[in-house]
Structures are given as C-alpha cells and as structure tokens.
Structure 1
Amino acid sequence: MEIGEICVPLKDLTQLHTKKEVRIVEELKFKTNAKKVGKISITTAIQNKVLTVGIIKVDDLPKWGIIGAPDVCVRVKIFQEGAKESIQVKHSRVIKSTCSAVYKESIAFLIQAKPADLTKTQVTVSVHDTSRSATGDDIIGSVFLGPHSIDKSEGEQWKNTIEHLGKEYKGSHNLKPPSINNHNPEVHVSETHSDSEE
C-alpha cells in the first residue's frame, strides 16, 4: 500500500550541476484519488447586504494514510472588486478525526449587494485538515461560487442566490482537489560530505 509521495522539480535544483552527492529532505505528501476528495453541503442567502453561508456537512473525506481521519475545518473566502475590504475570510470550528463532519453553522459577511457587484463576487468554500497545517499543505478540496464556478451545481446555486435576494438556497457539491501546479513543494537540499572531507 502506498503511503505518500514527494514531487521534486529537478530542473530547479542548481546543486545537481556539482559533482557532489545531493541530499533531498522533504515531508511525504499523502496521495488521494484526485477525482474524489469528498462532498460538502452548504446554503447561501443574501439579505440587507449580508451574505450568509450555512455549512451543513462535509462527507466522504479521504483518510491520509497512516495519519487517519482528518481534523476538519471549513473556510469561506469572499472576494469583491472595489469593496473596502475586498477579501474576507472566516472559518468554522474544527471537528476532529472524522471523514464525515456535521456542522450546521452559519457564517455571515457584510458585502456590496448591487447586482453588478454580486455577479462578480467570488465565494470559495474550502475544507482543510488542521492536523496537516504544519506542513503548509492542509487543504483537502474546495467549491467555487460566482464567476469561477466549475460545476453546474455551483453556478446554479450562486445564480439563484443573487437573483432571489432574501431566499436561502441549498447545494451539495463535489470538492475540487488542490491543483499540484498551483504550488510546487519547497524542498530542503544540502550537499553531502564524503568520508574524505570529514
């Protein structure tokens, strides 16, 4: 059974041009099925310039090899162009050691609520494993509401939310895994010393 992997972009390692042996030290990244990292159920509603995101539950999260079930936290990020506080981030409580977390929590944001603002508003709901925060790689997956919606369900939920102010809309979405291309791992490289040098 495979526990984890490391990805090292060799073209970026200038130490390889020397004739000395190179030691690479990096923490294993746990590998998951890239297409299935879980689901999240959320509600959205806008009333009186307040966007409320309800976090209902997160299901079918992957276990991380020998670490086991994640310590789950949901983070909501709102981005609006031209707003005084263009980016707002809030998060849920942490539910420890589970692949199926039930929250029933609501997170509220004060936003610009003109139609032109709402059509450009980006909402990212991401699920994190706080037990992996020390590695800087704690994100499990995300859903995107607004202009960057990927799935039909994401687009429909946001369209209904901004077209029918005051009404709450519920959606269940597949989490999108973080793209490997978005962050190359930091690798710690050092030259090893031969016996004759010591």
Structure 2
Amino acid sequence: MPPRPTSEPEILRPRFGGGGDFFSDRNLDVLSHLLDDYLRIPGTQIRFGLDGIIGLIPGIGDVLGAMASWIIILAAWLRGVPRVTLARMFANVAIETIVGTVPILGDAFDIAWKANRKNFMLLERSVGTIPVYKDGAPSIPVRGATPQQRRRHQLSDWLFLGALFMGMMLLLAIPIVLLAYIAGRFFAMGAHH
C-alpha cells in the first residue's frame, strides 16, 4: 500500500530575503513595545511609548511617529503578508496619524490606539504565529496557524476595512447632507419673500 500524502502547512514566501536580524520577530516586537507601551503612568494601568511622547511635538511629531510605524509595515511587506492585511496595517497608522494631529485629544487617542502593537500582532498572525493571551497579557506567540485560521484573519481584515470605508463614507456624507439641508432652507426662505 503506497504511503498516504501528508498535509504540509502553508508557508508564506518572503518577497525578499533581505532585512536580516533587523526585521526579526524579536526586534519588531521590541520596536512596537518601545513605540506604544514601554512606559507606564505610575499608579495606573495606562501605558504609552515614544510614539505618544514624539506626538506631543507640534507639526512634526505625528509624522515622525508614522515614519517609525512604517518599519513594521515594511517588514510585513517583505515577509509576503497578504495585501488586505497590509491595507489594514496602513489604516491603523493612518487613523493614528490623522487623529493624532488634533491637539491633546489626538495625543490621548494615540496612546490608546497603539497602532504599532496592533500591526505587530497582524504581522505575527499573518505569517503563521498565533498570539496566546493569559489574563489579558500577551504571552509568547505560538507558531503554526492553519490555513483556515489565516483565511479567517483575512476575512476579519476585510470586515475591518469595510467598516472603516463605511465610516469614512458616513463622515463624508454628514457635511453634504447638512449643506443640502441649509441650502434647502435658504431656498425655501427665498421662495416665501
């Protein structure tokens, strides 16, 4: 009887072999930790990183933080992460950068959003690493996500991007509807005179 074929795990091929240790899981984890939750406000559970501090610099702070965030996205692209996941990573950084430009409120959002930690977790799950949580704290990731798990993650990425798109359309529609209402009232007043 011939041997039965065994099922081999799907392996994502990197786009390039470069990067060496610079783009290693360990270095990217340290980078995301340093940028988003390295420091803690004493007596609280509020954590923040260099991204939150740099964001306080008016004008260029959020741009510098976004540039640092691109390192994780570049590493994901080099590793062959699916385009939909790259788009979600880009959206995370874009949201943090755009909202971060609002004085004070944007800095608080930047500290809470933690785009770099989100993007590192997206990278890990896309290349076959599943983060395991114990009591809400991340533990060492476990290798070996199945193709079904990766498809489910891609579906959640599409749903996130779809919700983001719908939210953007709603935000764009609000001023248009308001303008149409004001124009209608203006023309209605003109018709009565």
Q: Which has the larger radius of gyration?
A: 2
The higher-RCO structure (CA 8 Å, 6+ apart) is 1
Give the structure-2-normalised TM-score.
0.30
Structure with greater strand percent: 1
Structure with greater helix percent: 2
Give the structure-1-normalised TM-score.
0.29
